[in-house]
């Protein structure tokens, strides 16, 4: 079966620095893969290449067998690749429900009509409320997004991605900036989405322990190169990965492996 997402020799250079170096990976549909690696490993840059925020120096990204070439981030989102960022990206002066309803409206390509009251968009509102229930924000519908905690804003952003009917969710360190108390709630949201069984999830996380029980597979980046890709147990037992996280691995060692 053709993977829903894959890269071939994906590379990007900034001057003399190679941030992502000939990375090849494949991801089955409805699979949960996490990308881990030390700071500076190239994880977010790799995401930026997949989502279209950056253009590769070499190589290609394929979505459902189609080479994406130089297509824009907006174009890729419309195709079904939805990306969240380390910094939340919501409309702060709109309510939680309005944020999600606008995303649903965008997907349905319904133009806003100033003289039509929002209660006339019953179907859109119902879909938005279902998504808020999925991300555990029921009861917050009429709260301004600016008044949410950081963790709740991350939940809202995920709901907005789901509202766009994205097939692949690209989640960039969804727990970044959260208090210890907020982390379990966002992990519960991600687990809920995984358990629906109809989404493919690619997630970046710096802390390996947070995603072990969620992931079907884990890929490890180190200095822009693919160090390992396998089941959580295989990654945990991989001595080279352990050395990378403990800081004992140098780039020349990686080149030899």
Cβ–Cβ < 8 Å for 63, 80: yes
Q: Which long-range contacts (CB under 8 A, 24 or more apart) does 9-13 make?
A: 9/58, 9/59, 9/60, 10/46, 10/49, 10/56, 10/58, 10/59, 10/60, 10/61, 11/56, 11/57, 11/58, 11/59, 12/45, 12/49, 12/54, 12/55, 12/56, 12/57, 13/57
Domains of the chain: 5-256 (3.40.50.300)
Cβ–Cβ < 8 Å for 103, 84: no
Query: What's the CA gap between 150 and 145, in Å, rounded?
Result: 10
Question: Which run of H or E residues covers position 168?
Answer: strand 168-172
| pLDDT value for 115 | 40
254 falls in which pLDDT band (50, 70, 90)?
very low
176 falls in which pLDDT band (50, 70, 90)?
confident
Cβ–Cβ < 8 Å for 107, 160: no
The pLDDT tens digits of the residues spanning 188-218 come to: 999 999 999 999 999 998 777 888 899 999 9
| pLDDT value for 256 | 40
| pLDDT value for 36 | 92
pTM of the model as a whole: 0.87
């Amino acid at each position: 079966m053709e993977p829903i997402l894959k890269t071939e020799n994906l590379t990007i250079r900034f001057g003399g620095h190679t941030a992502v170096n000939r990375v090849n990976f494949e991801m089955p549909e409805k699979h949960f893969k996490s990308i881990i690696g030390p700071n500076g490993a190239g994880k977010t840059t790799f995401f930026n290449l997949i989502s279209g925020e950056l253009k590769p120096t070499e190589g290609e990204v394929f979505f459902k067998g189609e080479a994406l070439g130089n297509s824009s981030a907006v174009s890729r989102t419309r195709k079904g690749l939805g990306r969240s960022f380390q910094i939340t990206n919501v409309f702060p002066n709109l309510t939680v429900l309005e944020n999600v309803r606008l995303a649903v409206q965008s997907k349905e390509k319904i133009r806003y009509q100033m003289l039509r009251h929002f209660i006339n968009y019953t179907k859109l509102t119902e879909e938005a409320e279902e998504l808020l229930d999925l991300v555990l924000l029921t009861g917050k519908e009429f709260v301004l997004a600016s008044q949410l905690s950081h963790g709740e804003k991350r939940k809202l952003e995920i709901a907005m991605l789901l509202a766009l009917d994205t097939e692949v969710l690209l989640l960039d360190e969804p727990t970044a900036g959260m208090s210890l108390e907020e982390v379990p709630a966002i992990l519960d949201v991600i687990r809920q989405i995984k358990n629906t069984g109809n989404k493919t999830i690619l997630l970046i996380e710096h802390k390996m322990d947070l995603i072990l029980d969620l992931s079907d597979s884990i890929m490890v980046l180190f200095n822009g190169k693919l160090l390992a890709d396998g089941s959580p147990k295989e990654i945990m037992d991989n001595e080279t990965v352990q050395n990378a996280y403990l800081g004992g691995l140098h780039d020349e060692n990686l080149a030899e492996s």
